[in-house]
Each structure stands twice: as structure tokens, then as C-alpha cells.
Amino acid sequence: MAVSLLDAGQVATNVDDGVGTISFGHPKGNSLPAALLSKLATEVSALGTNPEARVVVLRSVGTGPFCGGASFDELKAVTTLQHGTRFFMGFANLILAMIRCPKFIIVRVQGRAVGGGVGVTAAGDYALATTRASVRLSELALGLGPFVVGPVIERKIGMAAMSNLAIDATGWRDAEWAREKGLYASVLETEGALDEAVSTLATQLAASNPEAMARMKEVFWAGTEKWDALLEARAIRSGTLVLSEFTRKAIADR
């Protein structure tokens, strides 16, 4: 297992019996600073070419939130369009790495997912969650918008559900709502049941035909071939907005 400490966060990767597991953590609600986003994208891509890993599990550490989204500390530190665009491209690069990885990615969601965390979940091929795994897109409340994560969320749950989340930026939708909309495949009562379900599915997929799964994944994500340019344009849009007076004040007040 390789562990990397990144801005007080961590990423760990392990391969066992055909299952590649990537775990990430950050003391501030498992939020995602730029270095951690970059490391996650690198690890996803590496497992995609590792013949020992036939399926990937993405999870966060602890029993609290699954992912708190973008790091507020880094958002506060943005002073130029280039810096802002580079930060939001971290989410773009992770999403692209996930949907282009030739292995199925199971996302284990043990708790709340906010903003970019919802996008990461949507970029997985199959997500399992607990009843505590509520979701929220909080970007508008900060003077931003879910521009970079929007396309993958829309693809997974549809424009109507995505826009409802984006507009009601302070409201939570519970895990059952997320299951009904297609973000989660199943919702379990406890973390123990979640871990059992993730393990059972991962073991099943690790014994399946890698070529068949890779071809299936191509079908699932067909139509995203031009997302490099789309997500870069969205990152520039977010990088511009994060410099606005409204957004600077909203972030500073957090």
C-alpha cells in the first residue's frame, strides 16, 4: 500500500485479489484540495493500466462525510484566473480519469456528499451508499455554480434532478432521493452492510471478463469524447467567478 500525505490529506492505493482500492481522506470533511485531486486522478489512471486490478473501488476514510467537495482554504487563496482555472481543472481531470478508466469503478459512499463529492460519485460506474449519504450542490450559495461537475451529474441523474440540486444550493436531498434518481444503485442501513455489499460486488466483478467490462464501459460513457474541451471551458467559467466580489465575500464568510 502506498500512502501519500497531501496538504494534511491522504491517498492510499491497494490491490488485492483483483480489486484495486483507492482511499482518500482530509481532516476537513474529506474535502478535496488540488494536490489530492491530482493524486486521485493519477491513481485512477494507474489502476486502469494495472493488470492486477480488474475492478476499482473508490472510497473515503472515516465514518463522517464521504466528501466535502472543494477545499475552502484553496478557494480563498485563489487570486488569478489561471490559479482558479487550474484548481477547478483538478475536478475535471479526476472525472475524465474515472470515466475513461477501462475498469468499472464502484464508489463507496458512507456519508454526505457535497458539491464536487457528488460529481465524483456520479463519475463512478456503480455507487453504493448508506442512509446517511445525503447530497447537496452548494456552489450557488458561494456565488459559483456546479459547472465542472454538472455534465457528469446530469448524465447520471438527468437535467431536471441536477438543476433541482443546483438551484436549491442550501438544501439536502436524502440518500433515498439519490437512489431514486439513479445516483446510487442501492442504499444500505449500516456501514457494515455497505462494506459487505461493496466487497461482494467487487469480488464478482474481479472474476468477470475484463474485455467485456471494458467494452461495456465504453458504451456507458459514449458521447463524452469531447468532454476535455467542455470541462476546461467550465473550469475557466468557475475560475472567473471565484474572483468576483460576491464569491470572495461568500467564501470568506464560511
Q: Which helix (H) or strand (E) holds 194?
A: helix 191-206
95 vs 102: CA distance, rounded Å: 13
For residue 3, is pLDDT > 70? Answer: no
* pLDDT given at position 174: 98
For residue 5, is pLDDT > 70? Answer: no
Q: Domain locations in the chain?
A: 2-191
Domain 2-191 CATH assignment equals 3.90.226.10: yes
For the stretch 201-245, pLDDT in tens is: 999 999 999 999 999 999 999 999 999 999 999 999 999 999 999
- Which whole number is the average pLDDT over 138-144? 96
pTM of the model: 0.96
Q: In 10 A of CB 178, how many CB atoms?
A: 26
In the DSSP assignment, the letter for residue 142 is G
Give the Cα-Cα-Cα angle 158, 64, 88 (nearest 5 degrees).
50
Q: Which helix (H) or strand (E) holds 186?
A: strand 186-188
Residues forming a β-bridge with 64: none
